[in-house]
Structure 1
Amino acid sequence: MSVCPTDFDEKVECPFVDRKEFIEAFENAFRNIDQKNYSILVYYGVAGIGKTSLRKKLPTLLEKHNKSNQHTRVIWTSIDFATEQYRQPYKFFEILSSQLHQKYGIKFNSFDIALATYLKKINPHNPLVKENYSEDSIVRDVLDICDEFVPVNLIPNVYNLAKSLPERYQKWALKRKEDISKLPDLEPTEIYERLPVYLAHDLADHLQNTSESAVIFIDTYEALWEKERDKGSFNSRDEWFRKLIENIQKSCLWVICGKESLRWEEVDEDWKNYLDQRKIGKLPEKDALDLLKQCGIIEKDIQNILIESSEGVPYYLELSIDIYRKIKQKEQPTPGNFAKVPEGIFCRFVKYLDREEKETLKVLSVPRYWNRELFKTLIEKFNTGYPATSFSELHRFSFMDVDEEGKCSMHQLMRKSLQDYQDPDLKKEVHNFMLDFYSNQLKDLDIKAITQENENALTEAFYHAKESLEAEKLCEWFISVSDPFYRAAFWQLITPMYEEILRILESELGPQHPDVATTLNNLALLYKSTGEYEKALPLFQMALAIREKILDPQNPDIASTLNGLAELYRMMGRYDKAFPLYQKIFDIYELMLSPQHPEVAMALNDLALLYFEMGHYDKALSLYQRTLEIVEEVMGPQHQYVATVLDNLALLYSQMGCYDKALPLYQRALDINEKVLGPQHPDIATTLNNLAGLYHYMGEYEKSLQLYQRTLEIIEKSQGSQHPYFATTLNNIGGLYASMENYERSLQHYQRALDIREKVLGSQHPNVATTLNNIGLLYNNARHYEKSLPYYQRALKILEDSLGPEHPDVAVTLNNLAIFYTNIGKYEEALPLFERAVDIIDSTRLGLNYPYFLQLMSNLILASGNLVNKWSQYYSFYGIIYLYQE
């Protein structure tokens, strides 16, 4: 039997009901479109409140205007961010320009050239095919003249080239020659960032030349933040969209529909002058009544119950209208057919479905979504009696939704009603089936090739596991299936799942259960990996307290938690806390494990890293060498942990000035990691960053910059742009630009690194001092001496307090501070600082191997001037006045 009412082939198309206030706001904004530089009208409110219906209604007013005012035409188009690909700037610009070109013949010459240049730069070996461009595209015309689109040859001579093209390009080429001519010199990322500017210029040129106005409708704006809300700055997600608006002044009205109001004033308070934000609340009772009447519901008692239960949400009324028509095919609806609360209403709704329909919907209410294949599998598995060929008919109901990718879901009120009133055994059976279904997709995962489908499978499997498994089994299952994702650095994906498991375990097993300690420990490791150190610390401490209470003192699990806590303290710069924990770990391992055990090697590596950061390079070197011998012998020369030790050892050699020793170690570490982890893993970023630093030291700046940029891309994708290591790379790029004497870009990177470090690590962390020192040095080198002093002073105070007065980093800042006093002629104040810096370097036995040591002596003699004889007995270093690489 047909799922949908036989009188209706499609689901209910409800007429638009009057939203007078919001229509008037649009009409007013349109009338005053040229009164401000930018016109942005925002409609926001909860899902189902009628934003999309309003957005579909407004263009009819524009069409009416165009018919009655032929000399003041309005062009318009609409884009819905519910389509996932449109949320990407590149695709959005493509669809926007394509729609306006197809509807109104608008030319986007600058944008087309810029986009073609970008595509050619990122895929230089792939020729552009003119058949991919419209008949009147400038790129197609260029390809008709030239055999190949080569930006470096074509674009600088764009005006001359235009002479060979149709006449319509002459005016454009003359106006936009300067912008287009810059394209060959821009990096692909720079072109990508400027795409909205090129598109905006093209549209602005059209509007200016034709005296037309434009209205751009954007729907489902909140989708830009899907899965991204906690990543970085909230307003960074639509920065590209603001850039587009900023470059089209006047003559353009933007109508944006979303669940929330815009927060652009957080970026620039001036946006308040241009944003007209209108919250769409409940549908007025009069409008709700008009909707019911227009759809044939004339019984006053039924009207009253539906309006009361809908709570002013139009979509809820649409569901009620759908079911009303279904009932009326069999009998006259009565108020008794509709309960007063949503659950009751939906229970009654289900009553009037066929048995096959009801049984199918009960099964479908358990998964959160499905596609055609899973739909078929479920109805066959649970023998609902519904024909597998009637997939489309079932999904015509208003409570069903199918997106453009064929992903189906059910309205939440309907879904909840079905779950609440179905057999619990059936519900449990479907959950078990879905758990097996998704778990099978997680078997034997290659951590280098985890796909979006694998991520979705884990998310859905976890949802069903919570409904299927007891607490202890749930914990055991999740540790197993999430391990590949942890090793592949999908930390942001699994962290909220671990948080939820912790709540379940504490509730059902009690706060002192071993599984609670395990989950606390694993969650702390995740927080540590994502740079959330303050969150990780209490979890490690709680896990340690539980394990020390319930386990034998020599249990390896205690050593594991101690190691995580010690590593966290090291990363937080709290070395006094880390060192005794490492000693405690070795006491446990000495009793439990052989000296060649991998766990011992890992502990040695971590201790060496601590010595390195404390400036004890000789101790660190000995431990790294011992660690490398163990792991190569026990784990094999191609093991991923071997790469970790190689990278650490190379970094130590680099800091000691032994570049010839460091370079092959970095290259070997990189080769191993790329083979084992793939090119986008955070561990790859670590090695790339360190290798970039080495090339910087060696003066190979272009190689260094390329590696740093690749590092940033990996970190931002895997850990986010607020991670401490992202700040580290920004800091190092700042140092590189300083060496290249590009002080403006250097300061920009330093300041951004400082902002992240102070926010994430705290204002007293040694890494904050590192960036402060670098900014002070930058101002010193730029001869803004008065600006550098407070940065040096604050850096010195932080380093002395956190690392102690004898650390090499203290000597770096002392040296830079001494150079500052030398530059302003205060030699007597510089001398004791140089002396103290020399004493520190002598005590660490770095000597002539310290980077830039010889350059230091030469620069010091030049700086000392008439005190050269007095100071010639001293030697200091001028080295790290360009930057301190971490």
Structure 2
Amino acid sequence: MSVCPANFDEKVKCPFVDRKEFIEAFENAFWNIDQKNYSILVYYGVAGIGKTSLRKELPTLIEKHNESDWHTRVIWTSIDFATEQYRQPYKFLEVLSSQLRQKYGIKFNSFDIALATYWKKINPYSPLVKEDYSENSIVRDVLDICDEFVPVNLIPNVYKLAKSLPERYQKWALKRKEDISKLPNLEPTEIYERLPVYLAHDLADHLQNTSESAVIFIDTYEALWEKDRDKGSFNSRDEWLRKLIENIQKSCLWVICGKESLRWEEVDEDWKNYLYQRKIGKLPEKDALDLLKQCGITEENIQKVLIESSEGVPYYLELSIDIYRKIKQKKQPTPENFAKVPEGIFCRFVKYLDGEEKETLKVLSVPRYWNRELFKKLVKEFNTGYPATSFSELHSFSFMDIDDKGKCSMHQLMRKSLQDNQDQDLKKEVHNFMLDFYSNQLKDLDIKAITQEHENALIEAFYHAKESLEAEELCEWFISVSDPFDRAAFWQLITSMYEEMLQILEAKLGPENPSVATALNNLAGLYKRMGEYEKALQLYQRTLDIREKTLGSQHPDFATTLNNFAELYRQMGEYEKALSLYQKALEIDEKVLGPYHPSVATTIDNLALLYRQMGEYEKALQLSQRALEICEKVFNPQHPDVAIVLNNLSLLYYQMGDYDRALPLYQKALNIQEEVFGPQHPDVATTLNNLAGLYNSMGEYEKALPLYQRTLDIQENVLGLQHPTVAATLNNLAELYHQMGDYEKALPLHQRALNIREKMLDPQHPDIAITLNNIALLYNNMGEYEKALPLYQRALKILEDSLGLEHPDVAVTLNNLAIFYSNIGKYEEALPLFERAVDIIDCTKLGLNHPYFSITINNLIGLYDSMLEEMIFYGYLRS
């Protein structure tokens, strides 16, 4: 059985239909490339409107120009984001440089060196292979000279190295030596972020040296947002492309095709001066008629029907041409063979497919994607009668698409039409089959070995579960199947699914159903872990209201929500609110569950954390030791909850100045977490951060530094760049550099931490005060006293208001402010601050051996000595 007519084995390739006004827009931008710093021409419109056809046609104008005026050659290339891997910045840049290198012999020395350095830093034990690089790559030439690519040895001596490389690199080395020489000192994430800059410099150098111009085409731009349409982060997804454009300037025209106009002016209003945005609307009737004629449809009555039903969308016309030719194999097409309204055109189309084809397409319209193997399974499972060996024939139709990885899909309007016009029982059976298919891929999932395939399986399983399961079944199933992803910190992935499931539950079960409360509680927990505290706060409040109303105020689930609510308040710095909720939760748990239940241990440990932050260390110690006792009794020694309690107890000992007790507990907690979660989990990062802080306080800076750096890498990768936890690590790393005397590294880290905290936390949060205090101390040590004073004063005000007048953190700030006054000779202002700090530390019963006490008392003694020397100098006392 043949799907396509014998005289055209491939899908119809329709000729380009002239879009005169849009071609003129390109010509205008093309001739004025050098008039402004940047030139970006944007074509946008709905899918199928003809953007890609236009994009494929425009390079012919460039080639004609190059043939007629070879003195001013224009180079060009094209990249389509429909290929998923090209949406990754480094892969886009790699492909762009490769295409321009192959077509025009352009050298990308800076980019090649930077990319090689990046890969070497993240894969230090994997050697670079010369054969993996093109003949024109500097990396290949480097590997000809050196046995191994070792950035720390090669890059600081770029100029010297260039002299031993071919002569063509010497000019580049002189110009770009400063940028390249910095590479060994950059973290992999820093190099990754600067890759667009390195490539831009290379391309800009080429254009400047040759007086050529460039045109870069980008298609399917909307694919960048395929997994995240959140408006707040919209412009962050293509920030790297703006960086690339900004660093080339002039001589380069960017032609971007997508479904929507760009919104770069939201980032910087100046972009309005450089964006030329043209919406592609309906294909004019004349052009649509020309297309039909060129494809052999000459019957006027059929032409009229197709033009009306297409609504001016070229892709509809292409589908019509496919079907017209198929019908004509058997009989003369008539106007009745085609739908008159867009909603019905696909239904009419499928009437002229063979029975096996129609049944197969009905089944294929249920999943969103498939590959050859899944296609075979579906055909076999639902006995459509279609030969599994005819995969390529079926996918030759224009409403079918296959990407370069063999991922297949169907045009959405065709898909929707098939679903609306098939037996609904069959549709549900296919959904059930697909749910089982993807759920099986998620069974017994090792959280340390989750791959992109597992992520895709969860996404697709959830899609089919919504169609297969009743609301309460959906909730129970999703909580179970998403739990490994939650524990593995794939929070961004599952949050959107929880949000969607919550809407389903509320619609089907009502807003006060227990399942709704469960979804609200879990979603709030995700927001809390991602640092979105305001969203979490609202959801926890709703959860609490529902559970109190439906379960009562003595139910364990109600206590769980109280504990979660309290934990959120603790992280937000609202300690008094947190305290009352923790105490109430603990009272319920002990009464209902007994004193040795895991939930009791969790609440006790959280309450201990709160008391530690409030400076009440004795209360915290008793609770933390009790939490550990419960966990060791109810869990095995390698349970992650044991590690959490160990980590928190270690942190308490550390802040009490008992470093000898803290160190082995940190190491034990770290061993458990790495064994359970793997090395890249946020809980591992938390313990690494705390352990680094301990080494820092012990003066073992060389041990602390790599731990902080590893912590930051994990947190930025998992939590994102704007998470409060990232700010804490930045603050700690900056403190380490401060103590090591490297002020230039410390200051930008502190400032970045402050920016995150001021953006994500309440203005009166103690963490903001801590960062202000640290920056002030840094300015003080740098001698920039005018900058330090207002920061100290602001920090002290926040801490006194949020923690009270007797908190140890208040004492620390008082001590630092007193040092500031001492440094500028204002001893009378420093003295009461030192004395007050000593009184606070004594009141909190930290003990005479605590580092806080010894540091502050020594500072106070030093102040007395300075005051005495001053009095002797001015003759108030005799020596």
Short-chain TM bin: over 0.9
Question: Which residue does the alignment assign to 1:834?
Answer: 834
Contact (CA 8 Å) 2:831, 2:863: kept in 1 or not?
no
Q: 1:423 to 1:268 in 2, by over 3 A?
A: closer
Code of the residue aligned with 2:311 in structure 1: it is E
The equivalences for 1:772-791 within 5 A come to 772-791=772-791
Q: Does 89-98 or 196-205 show the bigger shift?
A: 196-205
Contact (CA 8 Å) 1:823, 1:863: kept in 2 or not?
no
> SS of the residue aligned with 1:312?
coil
Question: Which residue does the alignment assign to 1:248?
Answer: 248
Deviations, residues 180-219 of structure 1 (Å, cap 9, x unaligned): 4444444444443333333333323322332222222222
> SS of the residue aligned with 1:13?
coil
Code of the residue aligned with 2:61 in structure 1: it is L
How many Å separate the matches in 1 of 2:586 and 2:195? 56
Deviations, residues 719-770 of structure 1 (Å, cap 9, x unaligned): 3223221222222233333334444543433333333323322222222222
Question: Which residue does the alignment assign to 1:376?
Answer: 376
1:507 paired to 2:502 = no
Q: 1:292 to 1:424 in 2, by over 3 A?
A: same
The equivalences for 1:295-314 within 5 A come to 295-314=295-314
Deviation of 1:436 (Å): 1.3
Question: Which residue does the alignment assign to 2:597?
Answer: 597
How many Å separate the matches in 2 of 1:41 and 1:120? 37
Question: Which residue does the alignment assign to 2:439?
Answer: 439
Question: Which residue does the alignment assign to 2:730?
Answer: 730
Deviation of 1:612 (Å): 0.8
How many Å separate the matches in 2 of 1:861 and 1:233? 53
Contact (CA 8 Å) 1:113, 1:139: kept in 2 or not?
yes
Deviation of 1:232 (Å): 7.6
Contact (CA 8 Å) 2:196, 2:243: kept in 1 or not?
yes
How many Å separate the matches in 1 of 2:83 and 2:33? 28
Q: 1:110 to 1:163 in 2, by over 3 A?
A: same
Q: Does 764-773 or 471-480 show the bigger shift?
A: 764-773
> SS of the residue aligned with 1:71?
helix
Code of the residue aligned with 1:442 in structure 2: it is L
TM-score normalized by the length of structure 2 = 0.93
Q: 1:75 to 1:558 in 2, by over 3 A?
A: same
How many Å separate the matches in 2 of 1:434 and 1:489? 26
Code of the residue aligned with 2:95 in structure 1: it is I
Code of the residue aligned with 2:146 in structure 1: it is C
Deviations, residues 129-163 of structure 1 (Å, cap 9, x unaligned): 22222334333333333333334444444444444
Q: 1:869 to 1:846 in 2, by over 3 A?
A: farther
Deviations, residues 476-516 of structure 1 (Å, cap 9, x unaligned): 22222222222222222222222222222222222332222
Question: Which residue does the alignment assign to 2:875?
Answer: none
Question: Which residue does the alignment assign to 1:274?
Answer: 274
Deviation of 1:865 (Å): 6.7
Deviation of 1:683 (Å): 0.8
Contact (CA 8 Å) 1:363, 1:430: kept in 2 or not?
yes
Contact (CA 8 Å) 2:379, 2:388: kept in 1 or not?
yes
Deviation of 1:453 (Å): 1.5
The equivalences for 1:655-804 within 5 A come to 655-804=655-804
Identity value in percent: 80
The equivalences for 1:93-132 within 5 A come to 93-132=93-132
Q: 1:189 to 1:721 in 2, by over 3 A?
A: closer
Q: Does 836-845 or 266-275 show the bigger shift?
A: 266-275
Q: Does 245-254 or 210-219 show the bigger shift?
A: 245-254
Q: 1:781 to 1:412 in 2, by over 3 A?
A: same
Q: 1:472 to 1:184 in 2, by over 3 A?
A: closer
Question: Which residue does the alignment assign to 1:882?
Answer: none
Q: 1:44 to 1:782 in 2, by over 3 A?
A: farther
Deviations, residues 69-128 of structure 1 (Å, cap 9, x unaligned): 122221111111222222223222222222112112222233333333333333333333
> SS of the residue aligned with 1:292?
helix
How many Å separate the matches in 2 of 1:159 and 1:543? 64
1:357 paired to 2:350 = no
1:551 paired to 2:585 = no
How many Å separate the matches in 2 of 1:204 and 1:11? 41
Q: Structure 1: 5+ residue runs without aligned partners?
A: 872-886
1:205 paired to 2:240 = no
Deviations, residues 386-421 of structure 1 (Å, cap 9, x unaligned): 010011111111111111111111111111111111
The equivalences for 1:227-266 within 5 A come to 227-230=227-230, 233-266=233-266
How many Å separate the matches in 1 of 2:575 and 2:870? 39
Question: Which residue does the alignment assign to 1:651?
Answer: 651
How many Å separate the matches in 2 of 1:507 and 1:172? 64
Deviation of 1:229 (Å): 4.7
> SS of the residue aligned with 2:29?
helix
Deviations, residues 689-722 of structure 1 (Å, cap 9, x unaligned): 2122223223344443432332233223323223
Q: Does 257-266 or 800-809 show the bigger shift?
A: 257-266
Question: Which residue does the alignment assign to 1:30?
Answer: 30
How many Å separate the matches in 1 of 2:744 and 2:283? 54
How many Å separate the matches in 2 of 1:185 and 1:866? 42
Question: Which residue does the alignment assign to 2:626?
Answer: 626
Code of the residue aligned with 2:454 in structure 1: it is N
Q: Does 103-112 or 115-124 show the bigger shift?
A: 115-124
Contact (CA 8 Å) 1:753, 1:771: kept in 2 or not?
yes
1:283 paired to 2:283 = yes
Question: Which residue does the alignment assign to 1:324?
Answer: 324
> SS of the residue aligned with 2:649?
helix
> SS of the residue aligned with 1:582?
helix
Code of the residue aligned with 1:756 in structure 2: it is I
Contact (CA 8 Å) 1:796, 1:814: kept in 2 or not?
yes
Code of the residue aligned with 2:798 in structure 1: it is I
Deviation of 1:372 (Å): 0.6
How many Å separate the matches in 1 of 2:821 and 2:498? 53
> SS of the residue aligned with 1:751?
helix
How many Å separate the matches in 1 of 2:705 and 2:196? 26
Q: 1:669 to 1:411 in 2, by over 3 A?
A: same
Q: 1:34 to 1:738 in 2, by over 3 A?
A: same
How many Å separate the matches in 2 of 1:157 and 1:768? 42
Question: Which residue does the alignment assign to 1:476?
Answer: 476
Question: Which residue does the alignment assign to 2:6?
Answer: 6
Question: Which residue does the alignment assign to 2:819?
Answer: 819
Code of the residue aligned with 1:786 in structure 2: it is E
Contact (CA 8 Å) 1:822, 1:864: kept in 2 or not?
no
Contact (CA 8 Å) 1:655, 1:851: kept in 2 or not?
no
> SS of the residue aligned with 1:43?
strand
Deviations, residues 645-666 of structure 1 (Å, cap 9, x unaligned): 1111111122222223222221
Deviations, residues 506-562 of structure 1 (Å, cap 9, x unaligned): 222223322222222222222222222222223223322332333355432222222
How many Å separate the matches in 2 of 1:134 and 1:653? 57
Q: 1:159 to 1:603 in 2, by over 3 A?
A: closer
Q: Does 635-644 or 580-589 show the bigger shift?
A: 580-589
Q: 1:280 to 1:771 in 2, by over 3 A?
A: farther
Deviation of 1:231 (Å): 9.8
Deviations, residues 295-331 of structure 1 (Å, cap 9, x unaligned): 2333444334433333333222222222232233333
Deviation of 1:262 (Å): 3.0
Q: 1:173 to 1:525 in 2, by over 3 A?
A: closer
How many Å separate the matches in 2 of 1:154 and 1:754? 36
> SS of the residue aligned with 2:253?
strand
How many Å separate the matches in 2 of 1:285 and 1:742? 70
> SS of the residue aligned with 1:42?
strand
Question: Which residue does the alignment assign to 1:884?
Answer: none
Contact (CA 8 Å) 2:311, 2:342: kept in 1 or not?
no
TM-score normalized by the length of structure 1 = 0.93
Q: 1:543 to 1:142 in 2, by over 3 A?
A: closer
> SS of the residue aligned with 2:441?
helix
Contact (CA 8 Å) 1:489, 1:718: kept in 2 or not?
yes
Q: Does 845-854 or 409-418 show the bigger shift?
A: 845-854
Q: Does 710-719 or 677-686 show the bigger shift?
A: 710-719
How many Å separate the matches in 2 of 1:265 and 1:461? 38
Code of the residue aligned with 1:630 in structure 2: it is I
Deviations, residues 237-296 of structure 1 (Å, cap 9, x unaligned): 333333333332332222222233333344444433333333333333333333233223
Q: 1:822 to 1:121 in 2, by over 3 A?
A: same
